[in-house]
Amino acid sequence: MTVRVAVAGASGYAGGELLRLLTSHPGVGIGAVTAHSSAGRPLGETQPQLAALADRTLERTSAEVLGGHDVVFLALPHGESAPLARALADDALVVDCGADFRLRDAADWVRFYGTEHAGTWPYGLPELPGARDELRGARRIAVPGCYPTAVTLALFPAYTARLAEPDAVVTAASGTSGAGRAVKPHLLGSEVMGSMTPYGVGGGHRHTPELTQNLSRAAGERVTVSFTPTLAPMPRGILATCSARLRPGVAEDGALDEVRAAFEAAYAGEPFIRLLPPGHWPSTGSVIGSNTVQVQVAVDPAARRLICVSAIDNLVKGTAGGAVQCMNVALDLPEHLGLPVNGVAP
């Protein structure tokens, strides 16, 4: 059986990556590809890397054009998914790469996004405990933000195993594609090349409530997260460095063994998580183009802190790959279909 899929936002970075992955998915046929200002143009003009789809024409994004598909991927700016999703058939699987349906707390939504909360859909991070049960058979899925994917997967086993205090500190570097392809002065080559800059410092980034939501769910208590994103001079990739104090009951002797055992247990059999051997550290250059997440853990005994580092490709596991993985789970297809585990390097 071939699943017929449509991609809205096909002229953008996330939409382009969805189409790259979906063309290699053996169970999928690609239907409508839609855009906004680029509607009417050949896909090959905005996504020249997608040779197999170069002659497709981008249609205008509407419920009519997206209707009649088994699966609709939405890769649109925040706020655009909610009205469109309401007009799509209940029995179509809608996978939203935007933020509209990620947060459970309406007050958090209003505070960080400034509009009315549209609701909450099942959260598309299959590796979280219990998530696959919620995603199997779902017809609406909210894919996480790219930073929340990297940070949650770096840290959550330390919280489920009750090894870390509920007060995490995170610094994460992202490539510029995380900001989308719309023209913005701070993303000009001359601003970004050879320079790194923090932004959203002091709890202001809109991924902070999403991180709190995910880690609190794992911990079973409220986890606060001090999150500092930085923009790095690279097109893709996120390197997240996360730390938290060890709980008082964790003995310094053997703490690292305990932490590693918790991560090994959490990630045993996970097709896309690679807990690296001791002494090896995650790097964005090793995961580009793949749905793989590299993870490593350490313990700093003098500071009594746990340090967890992850690397992802923001456009693959951080968006499009995560979205395809969720489709596979929802439709009961083998979870790895269409998803590379090998990166492109150098």
Ligand X SMILES: CC(=O)N[C@@H](CCC(=O)OP(=O)(O)O)C(=O)O
Ligand Y SMILES: NC(=O)C1=CN([C@@H]2O[C@H](COP(=O)(O)OP(=O)(O)OC[C@H]3O[C@@H](n4cnc5c(N)ncnc54)[C@H](OP(=O)(O)O)[C@@H]3O)[C@@H](O)[C@H]2O)C=CC1
Choose from ligand X, ligand Y, none: what does 147 bind? Cβ within 5-8 Å by kind.
ligand X
Write the single-letter amino acid at 329: V
Q: Does 316 bind ligand X (CB under 6 A)?
A: no
Nearest distance from residue 269's CB to ligand Y, in Å? Answer: 26
Looking up tokens 């936002």 gives 9
Query: Quick one: which of 28, 255, 315, 330 contacts ligand Y (CB under 6 A)?
Result: 315
Query: CA dist 68 to 260, 304, 323, Å?
Result: 47, 56, 20
Nearest distance from residue 210's CB to ligand X, in Å? Answer: 8
Query: Quick one: which of 98, 124, 126, 157 contacts ligand X (CB under 6 A)?
Result: 98
Query: Quick one: which of 52, 182, 188, 303 contacts ligand Y (CB under 6 A)?
Result: 182
Which of 335, 288, 319 lies closest to 95 in space, CA to CA?
319
The DSSP line for 26-68 is TTEEEEEEEESTTTTSBHHHH-TT-GGGTTPBPEEP-HHHHTT
Choose from ligand Y, ligand X, none: what does 241 bind? Cβ within 5-8 Å by kind.
none
The span from the CA of 343 to the CA of 346, in Å, is 9
Q: Which residues contact 121 (CB under 8 A, 6 or more apart)?
A: 96, 101, 102, 138, 140, 141, 142
Q: Does 231 bind ligand X (CB under 6 A)?
A: yes
Which of 320, 248, 296 lies closest to 47 in space, CA to CA?
320
Q: Which CB, 154 or 219, lies closer to ligand Y?
A: 154
Q: Which CB, 20 or 262, lies closer to ligand Y?
A: 20
The span from the CA of 246 to the CA of 76, in Å, is 40
Q: Which residues contact 178 (CB under 8 A, 6 or more apart)?
A: 146, 147, 238, 314, 318
Nearest distance from residue 334's CB to ligand X, in Å? Answer: 26
Distance between start and end Cα atoms, the chain: 37
Q: Does 178 bind ligand X (CB under 6 A)?
A: yes
Query: Quick one: which of 78, 162, 304, 336 contacts ligand Y (CB under 6 A)?
Result: 78
Q: Does 145 bind ligand X (CB under 6 A)?
A: yes
Query: Quick one: which of 314, 316, 338, 339 contacts ligand Y (CB under 6 A)?
Result: 314
Q: Does 229 bind ligand X (CB under 6 A)?
A: yes
With both helix axes pointing from N to C terminus, report the angle between 106-113 and 208-219 in degrees, rounded to the nearest 10: 150
For the segment 242-281, give every residue that binds ligand X (CB under 6 A): none
Tokens of 4: 């017929």
The span from the CA of 97 to the CA of 90, in Å, is 18
Instruction: Spot the catalytic one: 146, 242, 308, 326.
Output: 146
Query: Quick one: which of 169, 179, 276, 337 contacts ligand X (CB under 6 A)?
Result: 179
Q: Does 151 bind ligand X (CB under 6 A)?
A: no
Which of 323, 335, 278 lies closest to 20 in space, CA to CA?
323
Nearest distance from residue 302's CB to ligand X, in Å? Answer: 32
Query: Quick one: which of 28, 33, 75, 103 contacts ligand Y (CB under 6 A)?
Result: 75
Nearest distance from residue 188's CB to ligand X, in Å? Answer: 14
The DSSP line for 250-280 is S-STTHHHHHHHHHHHHHTT-TTEEEPPTT-
Our answer to whether residue 146 is catalytic in this structure is yes
Choose from ligand Y, ligand X, none: what does 321 bind? Cβ within 5-8 Å by kind.
none
Residues serving a catalytic function are 146
**Contact positions vs ligand X (CB under 6 A):** 98-99, 145-147, 174, 178-179, 229, 231
**Contact positions vs ligand Y (CB under 6 A):** 9-15, 35-38, 61, 75-78, 80, 97-98, 145-146, 177-178, 180-182, 314-315, 318-319
